[in-house]
Structure 1
Amino acid sequence: MMMKRKLTAGISILGLCLFFAASHGISDEKKNLIIVKDGKSDYQIVIPDKYADKNVEKFLESGAKLLQRCVKDASGAELPIVKEDAADKNKPSIFIGNTAFAKANKIDASKFKGWTCVNIVCGKNIVLAGNDLHGNPGNNSYTGYFLGSVKAVTTFLEQNMGVRFLLPGYNGTEVPPQKNISIAADLNKKISPPFEYCTGRSQEIFYDIANNFFAPVRMKLYGGHSYYSAVPKKVYAETHPEYFALFGGKRIPNDNHLCISNPEVQELVYKEMLKWLDMGYDLVELNETDGYHQCTCENCKKLYGIDDPGEKLWVFHRKLAERLMKDRPGKRVMTLAYGPKVEPPKTFKKFPENMVIELCAYSPEYFEKWKEYSVPAGFTAYVYNWGNYQRVGLTPKRTPAFCEEQIKLFHQNNVRSIYRCGFGELMGMEGPVYYVYGKCLGEPEKANAQLLSDDFYRNAFKEAAGPMKVFYETMYPGLAAYTLMEKNAALPSNPRTVLAFIYQPDILRIMNDNLEKAEKLATNPKVKIRLSLVRKEFEYVKNLASIIHLYNAYSINMNQNNFDQLAVEIDKRQAMIDSFYDKDSKIPPFPAWPEIRLFAGQPKLYVTINSRLTGQLGAPFNWSTALLKKNKILPGSSRKEMKIVRADGTVPLEGSLEEGIWKEAEFQDLNEMQLGALTLRTKFKALYDNENIYFAFSAELPEGVKYTPCGQDGPSWGQECLEVFLDPSGTKEKYYHFIFNPVENSRYDAATGFITDPLNPGYGKHDVSWNPEWEYKNYLSKDTWRAFVKIPFSSMGVKAPSKGNMWYMNIGREHHMDVKGVKKAIEYSLWSPNLETIAFCNSEIFGKIVFE
């Protein structure tokens, strides 16, 4: 029997329910209310006559149809759906939404806060109601609404009929068969979800709402960073360059870093906040540009009398919140504790009552730091549990136990809402984890990951539950170790190393054997389609891990036989990935399951390299096996080496590379960093004399692209660039780095490895204070970039090399591509490729140059 809760609104709802029970002739001794008996029912589903919003009507009708379908699937009885004014007054009813019946019984759901809802029996009638309200202007999907009545329906189905919303859509919903359906006659339950929202990639209305994955209704979120929208470079770069950060004596709008000491910039940031709040939102996000760099103008340096860039942002954002509290009482602002302000502020301990702090770090130790601060509006957690940018890329990442631990930690530390980054990419192999996470959100104190996991296995796989439990739980220890390494900052930088550890050959074998057993046992159509999704994702993981293990064997013994075995799996992988996409290079819905797309529809580029950012897989996944075979190349079996000719005469920084003194030097090609295919080709030549080393480049260039000067030591790498790495010492421990763009006054230089004191703040970092004399000249045509570079030996503190002297060197290029659906697609090419660490600046892979 459900615990009774007293709701007061004039008189107690419970008292009214007992009154209606007596009037309908139900005795105190009767414990259950029978809805369906022997496959038959007198009940009708009643929805309101009137709605404040036409979409609320649509969503509540869909909730009524869900209830109708589940009752029919379970028992065979089909309950009619009627509007309240057409309902048969002589029949018992299940009232959904803010009906007149509910209001007459003092259940005014319009006064409920957020996703609060009720399941209440009144006589023979049942009320399933919550606040149903449009919250986000312009968003007419379910993610723009509070739909408390739909939450009431899903809760009723779960707790009274055993329905499970395991995965999105019809095929993800499990309805147990039962000829008779009854509920407690004194059911009086109020559901108040402890988390305001848990948002990210939305899936499907009933899956999301049942599992507490609520959208941030009446909240304007930017996915993190609002400065881009407040002061967009497209609008102000040309007319107001002073709005943007000063780097190297130039205002640089490239990455949208702002000059926050500028009063006009401060006003634009504030107006962006007001714009959304005045449209009806209750909360707006306020955050600096991602990868924040402080403006170097004098006013920004002196701002608030503080040196720390992060502390300046804390003070700036708090001042805006205080201003907002006066101008818009009751409205809230949320700012990130991230990047330069990941640590709590140092100059104050109390936040305004309207200021929510969004945490991007959330260890127990980190929460301890925040206990010294007063944060009346509480916290939001921006979680990085999932996402294609993780070290393991598009493979499983977390365990059910991890989910339980995290949600309990959040609930204990005043976290009231969650932004899930990257959630939902692997509904097959991570389905149990997503389900556990959602259920932990509903009742953090009672959460038990093992019980919830077993509930998933039992309902999702039925007759095949046994081997599927083994399938998943064979994988989880490796994922738990991955999370532990990540937590302790001990995660290997190479994703191949991590993946090889998680998916060892014996682990793959056990998982595959149990998946095969489950497939043989499956008879239920829904179980079969769920298993087919798991199989598709597992084949991707198994092939990926197999390639890594074969590559490791090849790396130990680089012979033709090992290469051929590896090439077979690489080709198989590419064929598999090609099969995921349609003719428009999009992943279509999974067969017979429209709510599911493999990898949540990731762009082909990301699936090919298994990730973006830290999890990118280069060699051998990007090898062109056909090209390697054609040219009879065993990749990695030798290091790059070239000879540099001494110039006999003046070396011009102009002209043809096929004539004059440049004709004496041979062209060298840049290859994709890990010997994959290239979009644009680049080649170079090198010469030297008694004073300088010279480079000449010929590179294919995309048409119609405008480049912005970055000044001295600005973010030159943020656009098309060529790079030179020189190690005159020949130790691969110290080197000089030069970058330039296809535009004047846009260069970067740094020295690496020369600071040897571990206590020096610059130890292990690129020393950008090193600013030597060197020059470059560009010559651009329609689709070609010719460039010349002159670097004096004296600028590197070395003498001119003699004949036979040896240095180490690399030449690189970053080509910034425009790929649909990809935020930052960069093609990296190097003269001496890096097959191991996938690092562009790794001195270990520098090639050898010999001076003639």
Structure 2
Amino acid sequence: MMKDTNYRLSLFIVVAVFLISSCMAQQLDIVRDRKAETEIVISEHPSVLERKAAQVLQDYVKRITGAELAIFSSPSGTKKHVVYIGNTFYQEAMGKKVVLGREGFEIIVREGQIYLTGGSGKGLLYGVYELIEKQFGARKYDQGPAWVPKRSNLSLPLNFHFCYEPPLRYRESYYPASADSEYLDWHHLHRFEDLWGLWGHSFFKIIPPEKYFRQHPEFFAFTNGKRSATQLCLTNQGVQKIALDYFRRAIADHPDAVYWSIAPMDGRGGCTCDRCRKVDQEEGGPQGTLIRFVNGVAAQFPDKYFTTLAYGYTAEAPKITRPSSNVYVMLSTIDATRERGLGDNPTAASFRRQLNDWSKISSNIFVWDYTTQFTAYLSPFPMYDHYQGNIAFMHQHGVKGVFEHGSGHTLGDMSAYASYVQAKSLWNPEVDPIEVENDFLEGYYGLAAKSIKKYLNQLLNARNTSRSTLDIYGNPILSRRGYLGPEKMTMYKDLVDDGRKAVTGDPKLLSRVNLIALGLEYASLEQAKAYGEHPLGFLSKKDANQWMVNPNWMKRIDLFLDSALRGGAIELAEVNGSLEQYRKQWLTLLNKPYLPSLLQGVHPFFKPLFLQDFPANGKTTLNDGLSGTIDYSYNWLLFDGKEVEITFPFSRESQPAQVHLNFLLDPAHYLFLPDEVKVESSNDNVSYGRIGTHKIDSSLIREGPKCYPVSFGLKTQPARFLKVKLSFSQEFPAWFEGSRHRKPLFAIDEIRASD
């Protein structure tokens, strides 16, 4: 097997030998002056893979040169050279067996003939595509048709030899291009749909609560003093029996599946019954019951591979039990931010420790990595300089496979670029990322490449100089004080406009540059939700105490959505992100009555201050006329205290008769409603009298995320100060079935007072 670090050196030697040999006419002609000098030979009874490899080679040689290489089951004797595809011919010619690892390939020229051989899986086909790209110069940049050069001659050096085995056995880059089967084969990528008979968070696919919970609640997790359909009770013998029966049927139905997932559901804690708790105490946490359960199932199917997730409450390695030899553990990098690489990012410290601990007890480690912003797929997310480095880090630390979770089947920020760089890095973790980037930018954007490269570099520079955090659940609003600040956004748009001008006469290249502009437009629209009455916002002042929506704003939204649809965007965010939902969200926002308020322009005082992780528009958030959406990171101030006081000092004596407030209920993100709202008034900011009270029965309100408005009348009396007091029990509602490892919070947005 060729050492990974020798991959680039080998390619350099191949190219150098090719150039020297050409000058000395020491080459094997495949096509000369657009005439075939070679034919393809496959066995009389070829496998599906051998036939496909031959047809792919034939197809691309014809696309490049116009010459068609005939395919035979034995040499015709009419051509100078033969391309033998398949291991049988190599073994006969060399007198030895093909010894290649999983998905490896070998291409060798010997005595005027070319031999293509492959290891298990699609190694043979991968070798053909390597030949087409590395030697013939074709490229497959995205899910569209491949780019092929037009040449009269194709040849290989007489001493050509290229052998490679991929160091990672599982390689997936989850972007729109992964829907193209040829893109996957060309770049030697996998899809979980093709490898896994059961994927991801699978507990309830194995034992569905809707089928079993009513009659067998004991099959499910004991949490907060009762059985709930949150996870499975893994020490229950009935659960194991049903799981074994499930896999017997599923494996029989899908015998070609390589992996089978046995993993907890997303985001909720495990069982705490006496049996499970005893195991977990021995093992150091809930990962103990999980690994023992997975091992128990895997033992019954020793010829199959099972995967499970080291994620959330099962992230730590167990103290006693080792995963079986046919069990793969998939770690997650979900807690790491993306502005720095996994190797030195402080937020990835727990991942590095977990990877080290799991590696001590298992050599079968996969990683579920994240390379997109799930709350804003299209928004610029400049982690471009870490794709290759993160994959190299994981490989160097013994990881056997990587799932790069990008934007999936929908358009994301630089998704074609991200997929291409990741694909090259997954195949060869030591590849030069600058070479790959230059190859992609020049081939994909043509004359616009120089401007796009400047654009990417400026994003990276702005990320570094502003010390921005790249959170996979962040958004353009939070980044407007960092790398997506107003001046920087202007600079980015200018650079992209330069790229547009460079390719104005080429519709294909122009459409690709326009997708980058689309991402900047999305970021601008999202930021407008927070700018409000601002040159970059969607509101303008109607009179002293009232706002109005800027004219034609909805036309701008519709133009953006039309471009997004044509560009391949299916959704704009992981949750509630369809294009139609986005339009409805804006309609709701724009159709909202922007009513006058006595609090407009008043700067409130907070006791205590809101949480600084989500500062929204700071102290003006509550009376800037902008309503929060169901996304807690937009225009909401978050608190975790029992008592919160917000005091508004009027510029002159006022008599508010009503108060209107908005809260956000989002149990999935630990946001609940306060218990009580009190309003007090004062003339001296010392002596306050209560003028209104409203209680909230949070036990009756369970579904979220949703905005929860509160309005009530006040006892009118002249005042110079208005104080809103919020009481929050800091206790989870009885109906909440999620994990309680975090503190509950509450979120408040607009407060409006009217006379």
Preserved contact between residue 378 and residue 572 of structure 2 (Cα < 8 Å): no
What SS does structure 1 have at the residue aligned with 2:28? strand
Give the alignment partner of residue 606 of structure 1, picking from 543, 560, 577.
577
Question: Do the aligned residues in 2 keep the contact of 1:151 with 1:209 (CA within 8 Å)?
Answer: yes
Q: Post-superposition shift, 1:402?
A: 0.9
Deviations 1:415-440 (A, max 9, x none): 11012223454467343232222212
Does residue 32 of the first structure (1) align with residue 27 of the second (2)? yes
Which is worse superposed, 33-42 or 523-532? Answer: 523-532
**SS in structure 2 opposite 1:166?**
coil
User: Structure 2 matches for 1:62-101, cutoff 5 A?
Assistant: 64=54, 66-75=56-65, 77-84=66-73, 88-92=76-80, 95=83, 97-98=85-86, 101=89
- Superposition deviation, residue 270 in structure 1: 4.3
* Distance in 1 (alpha carbons) for counterparts of 2:524 and 2:26: 53
Give aligned pairs, total: 624
Q: Tell me the CA shift for residue 398 of structure 1.
A: 3.8
Match of 1:388 in 2: 374
**Match of residue 506, structure 1, among 481, 487, 500:** 487
Give the AA of the match of 1:559. K
**2:201 aligns to what?**
225
Q: Say if 2:365 is the partner of 1:379.
A: yes
Superposed displacement of residue 381, structure 1: 0.5
Matched residues in 2 for 1:842 and 1:546: separation?
24
Q: CA contact under 8 A between 2:31 and 2:152: conserved in structure 1?
A: yes
Write the letter of the residue equivalent to 2:157.
A
1:340 — aligned with what? 313
Between 235-244 and 363-372, report the one with greater CA deviation: 363-372
Aligned ranges 1:111-510 → 2 under 5 Å: 112-131=100-119, 146-170=121-145, 173-199=146-172, 200=174, 202-215=178-191, 219-220=195-196, 222-247=198-223, 250-253=226-229, 255=230, 257-273=231-247, 275-276=249-250, 279-301=255-277, 303-304=278-279, 306-307=280-281, 311-323=284-296, 326-345=299-318, 347-348=319-320, 350-361=322-333, 363-364=342-343, 365=349, 366-368=351-353, 370-372=355-357, 374-386=360-372, 388-389=374-375, 392-424=376-408, 425-426=410-411, 429-445=414-430, 447-478=431-462, 485-486=469-470, 496-499=477-480, 501-510=482-491
**The one of 609, 628, 636 aligned to 2:593:** 628
Describe the superposition over 1:338-393 as per-residue Cα deviations: whole angstroms up to 9, x where unpaired.
Answer: 11122222x2375433332211137443334543552343310101222524xx44
CA distance in 2, matches of 1:333, 1:527: 44
Aligned-partner SS, 1:474: helix
Aligned residue number for residue 606 of structure 2: none
Deviations 1:547-570 (A, max 9, x none): 655566689997338997864474
Q: Secondary structure at the match of 1:88?
A: coil
Conservation of the 8 A alpha-carbon contact between 1:807 and 1:849 = no
Q: Cα distance 1:330–1:264, how it changes in 2: closer, same or farther (>3 A)? A: same
Quickly say closer, same or farther: Cα 1:150–1:810, change in 2 above 3 A. farther
Flag the 1:554–1:539 CA change in 2: closer, same or farther, 3 A: closer
Q: TM-score with structure 1 length normalisation?
A: 0.62
Is 1:517 the counterpart of 2:498? The answer is yes
- Unaligned segments of structure 1, at least 5 residues: 6-25, 133-145, 582-586, 591-596, 612-616, 640-670, 678-714, 732-801, 817-824, 834-838
Structure 1 position 155, deviation (Å): 0.6
- Partner residue of 2:554? 571
2: CA distance, partners of 1:102 / 1:814: 71
d(CA) in 2 for partners of 1:329 and 1:180? Answer: 52
Change (3 A) 1:501 1:83: farther
Query: Aligned partners of 1:3 and 1:124: how far apart in 2?
Result: 27
Distance 1:729 1:110, change over 3 A: farther
Assess if the C-alpha contact under 8 Å between 1:393 and 1:610 holds in 2.
Answer: no
Structure 2 residue identity aligned to 1:527? L
Shift of 1:246: 3.5
1:101-143: CA deviations, max 9, x gaps?
34533599997543212222244433334357xxxxxxxxxxx
1:660 match: none
Contact 1:47 1:99 (C-alpha < 8 Å) held by counterparts: no
Structure 1 residues 814 and 465: CA distance shift in structure 2, 3 A: farther
Whole-angstrom CA distance in 1 between matches of 2:304 and 2:27: 45
Structure 1 residues 38 and 465, CA, compared in 2 at 3 Å: closer, same or farther? farther
Whole-angstrom CA distance in 2 between matches of 1:298 and 1:106? 64
Find the aligned partners of 1:846 and 1:561 in 2 and give their Cα distance.
19
Distance 1:554 1:514 in 2: 19
- Contact kept? 1:398, 1:480, Cα under 8 Å: no
What residue is the counterpart of 2:339 in the other structure? none
How big is each residue's C-alpha offset from its partner over 1:304-325, in whole Å with a ceiling of 9 and x where there is no partner?
Answer: 2x449x8453222333454456
**Secondary structure in 2 aligned to 1:343?**
coil
Q: Answer yes or no: is the 8 Å Cα contact 2:39–2:81 preserved in 1.
A: yes
Q: Report how far residue 601 of structure 1 moved.
A: 8.8
Contact map agreement 2:630 2:706 (CA 8 A) in 1: no
Per-residue CA deviation, residues 270-325 of structure 1 (Å, 9 max, x unaligned), is: 44455555635443222122223233544444x32x449x8453222333454456
In structure 2, distance between residues paired with 1:577 and 1:600: 13
Give the match's secondary structure for 1:245. strand
Instruction: Mark the CA change 1:455 to 1:218 in structure 2 (over 3 Å): closer, same or farther.
Output: closer
Q: CA separation of 1:247/1:808 partners in 2, compared to 1, >3 Å: closer, same or farther?
A: same
Displacement of 1:503 after TM fit? 2.5
Q: Which residue number in structure 2 is paired with residue 842 of structure 1?
A: 746
Greater shift, 177-186 or 422-431, is seen at 422-431
Deviation at residue 498 of structure 1 after TM alignment: 1.7
Give yes or no for contact 1:119–1:188 (8 Å, CA) kept in 2. Answer: yes
Q: Name the aligned partner's letter for residue 406 of structure 2.
A: G
Does the 8 Å contact 1:388/1:394 carry over to 2? no
1:224 is paired with a residue of what secondary structure? coil
| Mapped contact 1:810–1:846 kept (Cα < 8 A) | no
Q: Look up the SS of the partner of 1:560 in the other structure.
A: strand
Residues in 2 aligned to 1:568 and 1:187: alpha-carbon distance in whole angstroms? 67
- SS of 1:295's partner is coil
Letter in 1 for 2:709: L
Which range is displaced more, 550-559 or 514-523? Answer: 550-559
- 1:232 Cα offset (Å): 0.8
* Deviation of 1:846 (Å): 8.3
Q: Offset of 1:412 from its aligned partner? A: 0.8
1:198 shift after superposition: 1.9
Aligned to 1:540: 522
Distance of 2:531 and 2:55 partners within structure 1 = 50
C-alpha spacing 1:482/1:501, structure 2 compared with 1 (3 Å): closer
> For residues 47 and 627 of structure 1, do their structure 2 counterparts lie closer, same or farther at Cα, with a shift above 3 Å needed?
farther
Q: How far apart in 2 are the matches of 1:330 and 1:420?
A: 27
Gaps spanning 5+ residues in structure 2: where? Answer: 6-20, 337-341, 344-348, 603-624, 632-664, 681-687, 713-742
* TM-score normalised to structure 2 length: 0.69
